[in-house]
Amino acid sequence: MKFIKIAAIAAAAIASTAAQAQVAITEWMYKGGVGEFIEFTNIGTTAVDFSNWSYDDDSRIAGVFSLAGLGTVAAGESVIITETEADVFRADWGLSLSVKVLGNYTNNLGNGDEVNLYNGTTLVDRLTFGKTLQTSDVSGHATSLAALGANNVSLWVLSSVGDVEGSWRSVVGTIGSPGQTSFAPAVPEPQTYAMMVAGLCVVGAMARRRRG
């Protein structure tokens, strides 16, 4: 019974950590078109409840712009926040209602700023960008899975029509791929970890019986 409890506690801790680590900033445009935007993606394999999540820029204050309106973000799902109204943004980029968009944030990005993603008061991801990657009218996206969460903008590039992200030109002429990403779910399911921990406990118990 003791080993089962230990396995359960370990599995819960791993599940919590995995849920947090699996959400990342995957695209941003600080200026352009009908309004700037930021894309967050659940690159894991389990859904994440955003009811306590928020965004801020370089003031680094959790809770400034609530992401609760995004609800539960499914595995592999990309969601958008923008400074303009959600309907205006959708129309410009030709997005369906299946793509979640939260509009009208007021902590706008500048040319050389930060994107900070929080779960409660815990920082989940940060991207600090200087003036070297000018995401004006063209969004920026990561070059590899390893670049996500690394807070190293040198690992990001400007989007181009038809690139690996499937970027396209909006109605007003800006380029990006809001609502979609090339990064597939990568984090193992928490249930998998739980099974591994439980399996190790069973093996350990069997070994002790043999010794006895």
Residues 33, 7 share a domain? no
The pLDDT score that the predictor gives to residue 100 is: 98
**What integer best gives the mean pLDDT of the chain?**
84
Domain count within the chain: 2
Looking at 15-19, 59-63, 206-210, which range is the least confident one? 15-19
pLDDT digits (tens, 9 = 90+) for 94-106: 999 999 999 999 9
Residue 44 pLDDT > 80: yes
Domain that holds residue 205: 1-22+187-212
Residues 140, 73 share a domain? yes
Instruction: Determine how many CB atoms are found less than 10 A away from the CB of residue 93.
Output: 24
Residues 96, 35 share a domain? yes
Burial of 184: CB neighbours in 10 Å, binned 0-12, 13-18, 19+? exposed
The pLDDT score that the predictor gives to residue 65 is: 98
CB 73 within 8 A of CB 23: yes
The pLDDT score that the predictor gives to residue 96 is: 96
Residues of the chain above pLDDT 70, percent: 76
pLDDT digits (tens, 9 = 90+) for 175-190: 999 999 998 664 444 4
pTM recorded for the entire structure: 0.79
Residues 56, 10 share a domain? no
Residues 102, 182 share a domain? yes
**What CATH number corresponds to the domain at position 81?**
2.60.40.1260
